[in-house]
Chain A
Amino acid sequence: MITTNPSISKDKQSRNDLNEMLQEISALTWRLFIQLIRRPSTLFAGVLQPLIWLLLFAALFSNAPIDFLPGSSSYGEFLGAGLIVFTAFSGALNAGLPVMFDREFGFLNRLLVAPLRSRSSIVISSVIYITTISLLQSFAIMATSALLGYGWPTLGGFLLIAITLLLLVFAITGLSLGLAFVLPGHIELIAIIFIANLPVLFASTALAPISFMPQWLGWIASINPLTFAIEPIRMAYHSSLDLNAVLINAPYGEVNGYSCLAILFILTIGLFFLIRPLLNRKLA
């Protein structure tokens, strides 16, 4: 008589489950990349917009007094970090659009009627796609910024930039995917993206330091998640890597590099827990 060790068969089953989940995630991610390759305008627009900003804003404020730009030798150099974060932020904010179109055109039903190992695969593939695109776009800005003579980070700085961007992209992608399942259609989602995009940029330290802002705006900028991503990246560019150093002189106190990353981490986890029940309900 042949007997099967239950722990071995359980192990085999979970390996099979994992393989199936990987198969569905890679297929769904592949679909999103094919769409991008065949319709690359959004990728280019995502890079082009911040590049135009970089060129125009750097030129516009080229004669601004250097004194108000802590640690930077030119406005273009100051602006670089802000635009890297803005690029990643904008890309992540758009993460919900493909999901929204799939909802509207019924393609999501095709996915939901399939025996997916986990419906989280739909969300995970979107996160992988948007993260890759946002990072690619951000690195394109970094490369252009370097070509314009605004510097290039060290390896450690590069790592810090990658971690910071990942945290921000995860958080904003989660938020955008949550909105894509809550809002009734793509018009509403695009409206929110339009409303959020520029005000969030202006109310951060992307274009000017807190010391340059009126007090009310300084308060907003010092609680804006973009600021907590911009300042570590600015540090990665312009000074030695010391996460203990104070990066933000906020009205409520000083914030160092570790605190910036911790806040981004808490934001990501917080948004994940906020959105998870919603996704569970919508994808149940």
Chain B
Amino acid sequence: MFFIQLRDLFKSYGPVRALNGLNLGVPKGSLYGLLGPNGAGKSTAIRIICTLLDPDSGHVEVGGRDALFEEKEIRRRLGYVAQDVAIDKILTGRELLQLQGDLYHLDRKHKRQRIDELIQRLDMHDWIDRRCGSFSGGMKRRLDLASGLLHEPELLILDEPTVGLDIESRSVIWGLLKELRNKETTILLSSHYLEEVDELADEMAIIDNGKVIASGKPDDLKKELGGDRVTLRVREFSDEAEAESVRKLIKNINGVSNVVVNQKQGYSLNFLVQSNDVISNLSSHLSKENFEVFALSHSRPSLDDVYLQATGKTLMDAELELAGKRDFKLENKKSMR
């Protein structure tokens, strides 16, 4: 049973298409990871689920309710931790939580009790009565998370919650998310950190260019690749023609599959091998055709390999590529109410 369901979601910012027919189902009580480079459409999808943004077209259902028409009911049920921490620098941390409690109409006793619990749980007691303007990034993020959890939401949505955080804050946040997942809170977490999604998510989707290109359990996605990941270079910087010749050669070797030419990494070749024997035979196959092995690495498949398999580029390369295309001014303008 899905707690969040997005169907054929489209959204554009001027000429830039942020969502391009996004379909997504988040099971109830799961911790669901959205993985993708910055600019892939994760934040736009999240802002639509949180009722902060209307899609150009498509359908959004949260907890069995239509999020585009029953916005108030949706807001009551969700907690949102935004990518850019928006806190009032003049208020103290405790005052911000009190304000949040009033905006969610908690009664005085319940509000105080929840604030005390969260201060304790997120280890904020040493600094909670200081003004927010003096907080580090990690403190702000913990406070923001406490704000999102104050009213005990059924659904917690976190947009890149650990970007730029210190190890201690990241560990506190991860610990709390695991605890919430065990209590059956549905959590939607967007991230471009592979290890974060790998560590936390029960299920995940990879978003690229505004649509889901792969989804499932992280382990299953890695297993689906069918073997270990090998990266091969026959020269330090090959050209396209050479890489293509090597690709044609090795794709016919028994036990090799999913051969991809990674243009961004000097036309290296990425592929899967079913066993170590295949790697042993690789050099002989290559030398027969006058190719040398300049560099070869072999690893267990990661989520980056899943991404690479689906898009032909690594997550890092995709980020660099998208960073140049994004119009941050236009995005900020469009996201301002």
Contact = CB atoms under 8 A, between A and B. Distances in A.
Interface string B119-146: 0000000000001000000000000000
B267 interface: no
Given A31-B88, A113-B51, A115-B72, A106 B103 contact: no
B147 interface: yes
A283 B337 contact: yes
A245 interface: no
Nearest to B74: A115
A52 interface: no
B75 A113 contact: yes
Contact of A114 (B87, B88, B98, B104): B104
B90 A34 contact: yes
Contact of A113 (B52, B95, B102, B131): B52
Interface in A94-110: 103-110
Contact of B105 (A20, A113, A181): A20
- The interface size bin for chain B is 20 to 34
Contacts of B147: 110
B167 interface: no
A115 B75 contact: yes
A60 B72 CA distance: 59
A43 to B, nearest CB: 14
A224 interface: no
Given A38-B90, A103-B336, A115-B75, A109 B52 contact: yes
Interface of A is mostly: helix
Most B-side CB within 10 Å, residue of A20, A28, A110, A282: A110
B91 A31 contact: yes
A241 to B, nearest CB: 42
Interface stretch (B76-84, B212-220, B319-327): B76-84
B249 interface: no
Contacts of A116: 103
Interface in A184-204: 184
Contacts of B336: 103-104, 184
Given A107-B87, A114-B75, A115-B76, A31 B51 contact: no
Contacts of B52: 109, 112-113
A113 B91 contact: no
Given A23-B105, A27-B102, A106-B82, A112 B88 contact: no
Interface string A115-134: 11100000000000000000
A26 B102 contact: yes
A107 B333 contact: no
B86 interface: yes
Given A34-B91, A114-B75, A105 B86 contact: yes
Interface in B104-128: 104-105
A34 B95 contact: yes
B176 interface: no
A278 to B, nearest CB: 12
A35 B99 CA distance: 13
B90 A23 contact: no
A106 B86 contact: yes
Interface string A48-70: 00000000000000000000000
27 contacts: A24-B102, A24-B105, A26-B102, A27-B99, A28-B99, A30-B99, A31-B91, A31-B95, A34-B90, A34-B91, A34-B95, A35-B91, A38-B131, A104-B336, A105-B86, A106-B86, A107-B86, A110-B82, A110-B100, A112-B337, A113-B52, A114-B100, A114-B104, A115-B73, A116-B103, A181-B337, A184-B336
Interface of A: 20, 23-24, 26-28, 30-31, 34-35, 38-39, 103-117, 181, 184, 282-283
Given A24-B105, A103-B337, A109-B52, 4 more contacts: A23-B105, A27-B99, A28-B103, A184-B333
